Amino acid sequence: MFGYFCRMAFFAVGLTWLAAGHAQPQTAETLTLRDTLRRVTDQNPSLAAYAPRFKALVGERSAAALSPPLELIADADEFGGTNDARGVEGIELTLALSSVIELGNRPASRIAIVNARGELVAARRRTQLLDAQAQAARMFVELAALQQELEVARRSEALARQAEQTVRRRVDRARAPQAELQRAMAATARASLEVGHIEHQIPTVRVKMAALWGAQQPGFARVDDDALFHPGRAGAFEPLVDAIGQNPDLQQLASEERIQAANLLLAQSNARGDLRWRAGVRRLEGSDSTGLVAGVSIPLFSGRRAQSAIDAASARGEAARFDSRAAQIALRATLFEAWQHRAHAIEAFALLRDAVIPRLESALSETREAYRAGRYSYLELVAAQRELIDARLALINAARRAHINRIELERLAGAPLEQTLLADPVGTPTQDNDHDH
């Protein structure tokens, strides 16, 4: 059953990414999302503790199914006293067996509690697994976005150097003041600084992601970022609501309800008390004879004494039901919020890709030519470059937000989304090819 949960979780987090990306041959240094999730599933250190927990539950279940033990009782009477009871000549020896008859199907109630606790542990393991996989997927998206931001930063640096060369030529021809060259050189330095900043971020994220599968070194140079620019479609909201039942957090609450229900049954069975019996043989030394002995012990007023435990178990069960309903309501609201954010990010991505970036690329090309001809100022050239770079960064951020919210949706649902919600691949963003010649 746990293998099934792992496979479900694997497809839940990775299905969109894998469906949207193009199939490409990967080098040994390029990590795919599929490999990332497989490593987390198989090697996450925090999941190792669940194997002994399940083993302990097996022992607890066996113990819960045991019948009350038999007791061997040996009694010695009528010795060590006075007169006829002096010494051991008149001693009476009794050897008997004793045990308890449990009423109210109490062993089944104990087993039900252990079984419900097993379901709770399984749900907690699935929650922890999905959390680890979702965290790995988020880091994968973050690393893919950083790789793309690094490309944009390097492109920005190249644009800054090209602008610096253009300004230098104008200054050399006495067509622009020396101050413009100093500003252009400063802009180039700042662009180089941004490249270095991102280059320092990427190794940190790689190490943190590798820690999720217990590795001290990443063992990969980059992640496959091909699918970053395929955010897909938002799809309908109601199918997501239908999948909420697979959420492991809700399953934990359901297991808590079952534990409290089993505790209530056990408390109710305790109201009937236990029947204790005793049977054996007595040796009568004075008459040199033996006889049988037997006895039954029945507790009085056990129902009244158990009522407090029944009331407490009933109240805990009612509280667990309220917690479950409140969690479902809160989960639906969170699900709707993530769905709305994803839809907005997809719309922003499409607008930036199709309407904003192509126009800004054209505007930068025209502004550069106009600056060379002396019709535009340096500030207008810098503004055109900055607007294009900002738009490309916004495109990456929109793609990042779309994927992050998709991961959140799948984590909240706890199961793969419907195939109809998966996206058709969309075009990659327009690449910068308007270098200065």
Q: Give the pLDDT confidence of 21-48 residue by residue, as tens digits.
A: 433 444 448 888 888 888 988 888 888 8
Nearest by Cα to 409 from 205, 191, 231, 244: 244
In a domain, 360, yes or no: yes
Q: What is the pLDDT of residue 272?
A: 64
Structure tokens at 194: 């941004």
Q: Is residue 311 part of a domain?
A: no
- Output 296-299 pairs: Cβ under 8 A, ≥24 positions apart: 298/273, 299/273, 299/274
What CATH number is attached to the domain comprising 111? 1.20.1600.10
Which tokens go with 333? 């609201």
In a domain, 237, yes or no: yes
pLDDT value for 419: 33
Instruction: Tell me the two tokens of residue 105.
Output: 């199907």
410/417 Cα distance (integer angstroms): 7
- Rounded Cα–Cα distance for residues 144 and 227 (Å): 9
Instruction: Residue 83: count other Cβ atoms within 10 Å of its Cβ.
Output: 6
Determine contact, residues 92/283, Cβ cutoff 8 Å: yes
pLDDT at position 143:
94
pLDDT recorded at residue 13: 40
C-alpha–C-alpha distance, residues 113 and 256, integer Å = 10
How confident is the model over 227-243, as pLDDT tens digits?
A: 888 888 888 888 777 77
Q: Residue 430 has what pLDDT?
A: 37
State the DSSP H helix or E strand holding residue 395, giving kind and residue range, or none if neither: helix 378-413
Site of tokens 């393991």? 125
The range of the structural domain enclosing residue 259 comes to 2-68+107-272+326-421
For residue 430, being part of any structural domain is answered with: no
> What is the number of structural domains in the chain?
1
Q: For 69-128, write each residue's pLDDT tens digit.
A: 778 887 776 665 556 556 556 677 778 888 777 766 778 888 888 888 888 888 888 888
* pLDDT value for 417: 35
CA distances from 20 to 144, 156, 227 (A): 15, 28, 6
Any domain includes 431: no
Q: Which residues of the chain have pLDDT under 70?
A: 1-28, 77-90, 103-104, 263, 265-275, 284-288, 300-306, 415-437
| Domain-located, residue 308 | no
CA distance 327 to 419: 27
Q: What is the model's pLDDT at position 104?
A: 66
Residue 348 lies in a domain: yes
Residue 415 lies in a domain: yes
